[in-house]
């Protein structure tokens, strides 16, 4: 007959086996986490962006008094996030704005057509004030953090009501980074919001100025006003390639080659240079033509990639 094993020895063996299985499970989890790429998303309160950039560059928050190159500044935000989170991929940019009866304006439709951008609309009341935008931001931010869809959230806004959105996302393990626009002579972001976020960054006049253009009194848009026929896609693509060739000649291959790692995006300042140069050659504004802006970049990249 076999001698019975002491009860204490059996318990220790079982305990050791349990600890070993737990360690194996933890090792697998840690290995999976280590190989899972970080993901970030940008949550931009358009009302804040318009008001803050307008005040900084033109001295007014009235949208009718200036034009914001929304596509350009969104690209600049994407490019800035890429430099801050170099090992992270962009999920998308959420652009929160207001509209009467939540019906997209033409400008909002153009923004919605941009790659990696989702427009989310709250209501616009009789006093042109956004309603419901903060709750949309909270819902999206909390949902993405809860489902581990993002590791970092860039929040562009200033309302104290966004504090609850920050706390909710942080509760699920996401880091929240607050971006703002410089405010002349004061602050345009609530202090409680600044206290809650994981980091804060402010963009100055030099960053914002290329994307804001003051409208003269005679340039205010009128109902039914038309700009004239836009250039064809082929013409815009050709001009993009032409600007690339010119820059290769003037600035040298090394300067242009430095742009390749960012493909298909261009740094915000470079994208604005390309837009300005193209408009001068076409003698036509491409602002507000998101599809042609993309074709312009395609033409630029086609020429650059063909040389390297």
**Cβ(274)–Cβ(297) below 8 Å:** yes
How far apart are the C-alpha atoms of 297 and 152, rounded to whole Å?
28
Res 37: pLDDT:
77
pLDDT at 182: 93
Answer whether 159's CB lies under 8 Å from 178's CB.
Answer: no
Query: What's residue 223's pLDDT?
Result: 38
Block mean pLDDT (10 aa), the chain, length 308: 56 74 72 68 93 90 86 91 92 88 79 90 65 84 94 93 91 95 87 94 92 72 49 86 86 83 75 82 74 83 82
- Residue 192 has which token pair? 């409680």
On whether the CB atoms of residues 47 and 95 are closer than 8 A, the answer is: no
What secondary structure, in 3-state letters, does 102-138 show?
HCCCHHHHHHHCCCCEEEEEEEECCCCCEECHHHHHH
> pTM value?
0.66
């Amino acid at each position: 007959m076999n001698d019975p094993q002491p009860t204490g020895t059996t318990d220790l063996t079982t305990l050791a086996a349990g600890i070993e299985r737990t360690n194996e499970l933890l090792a697998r989890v840690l290995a999976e986490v280590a190989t899972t790429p970080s993901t970030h998303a940008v949550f931009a309160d358009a009302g804040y962006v318009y008001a803050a950039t307008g005040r900084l560059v033109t001295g007014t928050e009235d949208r009718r008094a200036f034009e914001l190159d929304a596509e350009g500044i969104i690209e600049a935000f994407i490019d800035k996030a890429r430099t801050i989170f170099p090992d992270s991929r962009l999920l998308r940019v959420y652009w929160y704005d207001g509209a009467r009866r939540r019906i997209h304006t033409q400008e909002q439709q153009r923004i919605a057509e941009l790659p990696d951008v989702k427009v989310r609309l709250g209501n616009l009341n009789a006093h042109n004030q956004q309603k419901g935008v903060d709750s949309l931001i909270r819902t999206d931010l909390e949902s993405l953090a809860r489902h581990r869809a993002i590791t970092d959230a860039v929040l562009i806004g200033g309302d104290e009501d966004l504090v609850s959105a920050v706390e909710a996302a942080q509760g699920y393990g996401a880091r929240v980074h607050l971006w703002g626009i410089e405010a002349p002579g004061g602050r345009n972001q609530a202090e409680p919001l600044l206290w809650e976020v994981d980091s804060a960054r402010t963009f100055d006049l030099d960053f914002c100025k290329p994307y804001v253009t003051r409208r003269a009194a005679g340039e205010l848009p009128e109902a039914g006003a038309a700009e004239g026929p836009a250039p064809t896609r082929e013409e815009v693509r050709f001009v993009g390639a032409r600007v690339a060739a010119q820059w290769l000649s003037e600035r040298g291959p090394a300067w242009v080659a430095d742009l390749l790692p960012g493909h298909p995006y261009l740094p915000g300042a470079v994208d604005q240079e390309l837009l300005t140069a193209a408009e001068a050659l076409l003698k036509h504004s491409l602002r507000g033509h998101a599809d042609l802006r993309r074709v312009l970049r395609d033409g630029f990249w086609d020429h650059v990639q063909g040389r390297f």
